[in-house]
């Protein structure tokens, strides 16, 4: 049955529209209707009174490893479902499960579990496939990726180790400057898999070669990449300058200074940058919480995860709603929604379907409370999902109630 969500405003595709009702039918946004607040005394079910909230398209996280004390590398559908359910509270309605550099059997288990969740349906945020981060990366720019499992790029090895699981891959992060890197870039591109340059020491010139071979994306820009210098612009300089590459940014104000993130948006434009969380097991966990990255201890400290051995950053402890807030504080809610919803959707080929509230899109909607700066309600396919407590182990419930 069709219903309307009456919002104080709706923000989508870089614009803001005041006093709109979103008309939702059969899981899709089918229309917007302006309304006069003074003429609308009551909102009756099944319509939804969200007149104090702003409606936004659900956010899409293309780079997330875990959260809430769980890790996708546990390799079970249950772990992925647990994370997917808790992402809803943070306004994330779709994501890519992101295995990291690890033994191949662990990577396989993670991708296999993700396939099972995708085929049977997530009970939380939609799972769109996998982003394989490593193992074909540069040891010089390993960051928190366990160095002992890094491998030289090899088409043969990838085919042999993953076999039919290759079809789950949507993005592969690799270092194209390594021997075999360009061949692998070309091979993956031909399969329709997005090659993202990351954990890479590529020079500016090597990056241009990678673009020629099909690379189209850059992994957590500025982090774990050859930096910009005016006589050696490096991978970071190429990301800033070349529009072929969409650029991930971890906008937690820790991995990236807000000025650097703004510089990136200024250089590339508001449509070529996208926020990712790079969230780890430590997302939503308190200071002092420790977890393991394949034999290396990490600890949550002041809104970041750090390697116990080195003190280096070990991924983030935030979800996309934090990126959204930081970006909105520096730029605007309209731009923040582009970076967190529309741009990641377009990068994966879901333009018009996800990451937008235009009529015809899936009704993946979040209701944002502008006073508390929190996501209050999340809809997937037009169905309202109750939020789970972030630490409890009980399962998610789906309801169809008026607010
Ligand atoms: Zn990562």
Q: Judge if 51 and 160 occupy the same domain.
A: no
Q: Residue 394 domain-assigned?
A: no
- Do residues 276 and 249 make contact, with C-beta atoms less than 8 angstroms apart? yes
Spacing, Cα 26 to ligand 1 middle (Å): 35
Distance, CA of 196 to CA of 159 (rounded, Å): 18
Q: Residue 287 domain-assigned?
A: yes
- Do residues 5 and 22 make contact, with C-beta atoms less than 8 angstroms apart? yes
Spacing, Cα 137 to ligand 1 middle (Å): 12
pLDDT at 391: 56
- Angle made by CA atoms 309, 313, 314, in degrees to the nearest 5: 80
Distance, CA of 78 to CA of 89 (rounded, Å): 18
Distance, CA of 97 to CA of 274 (rounded, Å): 17
Q: Which residue has the tokens 């990366």?
A: 137
Distance, CA of 46 to CA of 30 (rounded, Å): 16
Distance, CA of 173 to CA of 138 (rounded, Å): 11
pLDDT at 402: 36
Spacing, Cα 88 to ligand 1 middle (Å): 20
Tell me the pLDDT of the chain (403 aa) as tens digits. 899 999 999 999 999 999 999 999 999 999 999 999 888 889 999 999 999 999 999 999 999 999 999 999 999 999 999 999 999 999 999 999 999 999 999 999 999 999 999 999 999 999 999 999 999 999 999 998 999 999 999 999 999 999 999 999 999 999 999 999 999 999 999 999 999 999 999 999 999 999 999 999 999 999 999 999 999 999 999 999 999 999 999 999 999 999 999 999 999 999 999 999 999 999 999 999 999 888 889 999 988 899 998 889 988 999 999 999 999 999 999 999 999 999 999 999 999 999 999 999 999 999 999 999 999 999 999 999 988 776 544 344 444 333 3
> Which residues make Cβ contacts (< 8 Å) with residue 145, sequence separation at least 6?
100, 101, 133, 134, 135, 137, 199
**CATH number of the domain enclosing 198:** 3.20.20.140
**CATH number of the domain enclosing 12:** 2.30.40.10
Q: Which residues are catalytic?
A: 278
pLDDT at 38: 82
Spacing, Cα 304 to ligand 1 middle (Å): 13
List pLDDT tens digits, range 18-50: 999 999 999 999 999 999 988 888 999 999 999
Helix (H) or strand (E) holding 107: helix 104-120
Q: Judge if 38 and 187 occupy the same domain.
A: no
Could you give the 3-state DSSP secondary structure of residue 247?
strand
Q: Residue 396 domain-assigned?
A: no
Q: Judge if 110 and 195 occupy the same domain.
A: yes
Distance, CA of 339 to CA of 91 (rounded, Å): 14
Q: Judge if 217 and 236 occupy the same domain.
A: yes
- Do residues 19 and 379 make contact, with C-beta atoms less than 8 angstroms apart? no
Structurally, the chain folds into a number of domains equal to 2
Q: Judge if 150 and 224 occupy the same domain.
A: yes
pLDDT at 390: 67
Distance, CA of 86 to CA of 108 (rounded, Å): 24
Q: Residue 390 domain-assigned?
A: no
Spacing, Cα 278 to ligand 1 middle (Å): 5
Spacing, Cα 98 to ligand 1 middle (Å): 7
How many helices (H) and strands (E) would you count in the chain?
A: 10, 21
Spacing, Cα 100 to ligand 1 middle (Å): 7
Structural domain including 150 reads 59-347
Percent of the chain with pLDDT over 90: 90
> Which residues make Cβ contacts (< 8 Å) with residue 236, sequence separation at least 6?
221, 222, 225, 226, 227, 228
pLDDT at 386: 86
Q: Judge if 36 and 127 occupy the same domain.
A: no
């Amino acid at each position: 049955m069709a219903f309307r969500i009456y919002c104080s405003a709706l923000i989508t595709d870089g614009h803001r529209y005041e006093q709109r009702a979103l008309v939702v039918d059969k899981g899709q946004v089918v229309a917007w209707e302006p309304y006069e607040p003074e003429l609308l005394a009551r909102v009756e079910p099944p319509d939804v009174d969200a007149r104090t909230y702003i409606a936004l398209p659900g956010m899409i996280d293309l780079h997330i490893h875990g959260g809430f004390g769980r890790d996708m590398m546990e390799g079970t559908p249950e772990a992925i479902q647990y994370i997917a359910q808790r992402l809803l509270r943070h306004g994330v309605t779709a994501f890519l499960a992101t295995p990291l550099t690890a033994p191949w059997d662990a990577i396989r288990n993670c991708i296999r579990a993700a396939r099972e969740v995708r085929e049977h349906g997530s009970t939380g945020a939609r799972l769109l496939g996998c982003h394989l981060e490593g193992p074909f990366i540069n040891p010089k720019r390993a960051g928190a990726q366990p160095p002992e499992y890094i491998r030289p790029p090899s088409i043969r090895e990838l085919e042999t180790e993953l076999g039919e699981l290759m079809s789950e891959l949507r993005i592969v992060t690799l270092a194209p400057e390594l021997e075999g890197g360009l061949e692998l870039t070309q091979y993956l591109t031909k399969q329709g898999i997005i090659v993202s340059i990351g954990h890479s020491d590529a020079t500016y010139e090597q990056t241009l070669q990678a673009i020629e071979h099909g690379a189209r994306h850059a992994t957590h820009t500025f982090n774990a990449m050859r930096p910009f210098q005016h006589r050696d612009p490096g991978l970071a300089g190429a990301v800033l300058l070349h529009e072929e590459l969409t650029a991930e940014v971890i906008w937690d104000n820790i991995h990236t200074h807000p000025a650097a993130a703004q510089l990136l948006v200024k250089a590339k434009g508001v449509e070529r940058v996208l926020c990712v969380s790079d969230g780890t097991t430590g997302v939503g966990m308190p200071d002092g919480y420790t977890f393991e990255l394949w034999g290396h201890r990490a600890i949550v400290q002041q809104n970041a995860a750090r390697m116990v051995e080195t003190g280096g950053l070990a991924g983030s402890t935030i979800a996309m709603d934090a990126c959204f807030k930081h970006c909105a504080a520096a730029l605007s809610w309209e731009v923040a929604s582009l970076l967190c919803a529309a741009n990641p959707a377009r990068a994966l080929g879901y333009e018009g379907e996800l990451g937008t509230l235009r009529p015809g899109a899936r009704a993946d909607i979040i209701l944002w409370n502008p006073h508390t700066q929190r996501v209050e309600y999340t809809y997937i396919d037009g169905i309202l999902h109750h939020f789970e407590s972030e630490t409890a182990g009980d399962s998610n419930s789906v309801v169809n109630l008026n607010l």
